[in-house]
Amino acid sequence: MGNASDASDVFASTISREHDVIMGSLYTVFCALSLVGNGVLLLVAYRKRLTLKPAEFFIVNLSISDLGMTLSLFPLAIPSAFSHRWLFGEVTCQAYALCGVLFGLCSLTNLTALSLVCCLKVCFPNHGNKFSSSHACVMVGGVWSYASVFAVGPLAQWGNYAVEPYGTACCIDWRSPNHSLSALSYIVCLFLFCYAVPCVVIFLSYAFILLTVRGSQQAVQQHVSPPQSRTSNAHALIVKLSVAVCIGFLGAWTPYAVVSMLAAFGDADSISPVAFAMAAILAKISTVYNPVVYLLCKPNFRKCLYSDTSSFRQRICRGSPQPDQGQRFGSRTQCQDHKDASVSTRFSNGQPESYGACLDYSGDGSPCARASPLPTASTLTHSSPGEVAVCRLPARLQAHFL
């Protein structure tokens, strides 16, 4: 009975019920936003999978790790927060901590690899242009392997997993270095190779990129051909978005890293459980940040998303009830606003005419004002009959035909 009571006390929340309700509510919002954002990003990436650039493989991998964290952590953390205690026992606690460390380290390592690829492409274009999709796949596999080593370590008695100080979630036991040399070595290696080194690599990569771009900007504007300039602009956009994602990710996880290191190498009892809870909440924001940046700011992702949304809207419009002619006309007009200008319809004279754009022009180069089917006139050129739009004829002949 005493052991059961002790175990029950371990999984009891150490913060107020009001704080747990706030945490559960925020986690619910983050879960919904992450599912929608990362799901849409992966769908868009799948639709344009044949045209994905090698650097975009890391964007997709980052979204996969964020979605994995969302599906493995939030369904357990949300009910536990609302219940004011961890609900799922010791074994699930270990699995929860494993998934949190695996997906979190995978995201950070993935961003480190992305910064190196961007640096290679911008600063060393002769080598960067040889970086292919197969190279990206190999690096993505290396990212998961690297993260897995540190995630599986505590299950092999190198470090420990335990309940968080606030009681309703599980992660690395940050207090174990005080009484275990193995746990101390694990925490030191984790901090050095999974936080400090990646942050330094990311900072140096983007600093080197910034210096390279500034040094060659004037030469690029004066001497580079338009196709090369467009390629340079595409690389610059990927770099900007990558910097934004790295800043957001590091900003979300740095408070948790700081609090954890203070608990591991300082007085753990002096750190409030509320501080751990707030740091954990900030860390979970990273699952929402990535898809928002890429879906809203990356032109080809945004264009593909808009195209899919327009197609879905057209299907809804075609399938909606249309009781009378006036409503049918209005619905048709609303749906066709998003159609491509190249879609054409055949009329009684056998000539295709476009509703999306005027394809016939007058002699002075101005476009025809009408988008409806244009009257045509039969002509005889070198004994060969043909047809020409009336608006292309001289004014005298136009008056004769009209």
Residue extents of the structural domains in the chain: 2-297
What percent helix, strand, coil does the chain show, rounded to 5? 70, 5, 20
Quote the pLDDT of residue 251. Answer: 86
**Of 2, 45, 97, which Cα lies nearest the Cα of 290?**
45
Quote the pLDDT of residue 387. Answer: 61
Phi, psi of 84 (to 5 degrees): 70, 25
Q: Tell whether pTM > 0.75.
A: no
Residue 43 to residues 38, 65, 364, Cα–Cα distance (Å) = 8, 15, 47
Question: What ranges in 124-225 are assigned the alpha helix state H?
Answer: 125-128, 133-152, 181-191, 197-223
Are 182 and 157 spatial neighbours (Cβ–Cβ below 8 Å)? yes
Quote the pLDDT of residue 279. Answer: 92
> Which residue ranges of the chain lie beneath pLDDT 70?
1-8, 216-238, 297-302, 305-313, 318-402
Quote the pLDDT of residue 313. Answer: 66
Quote the pLDDT of residue 364. Answer: 44
CATH class given for the domain over 2-297 = mainly alpha
Cβ-based neighbours of 64, under 8 Å, separated by 6 or more: 38, 42
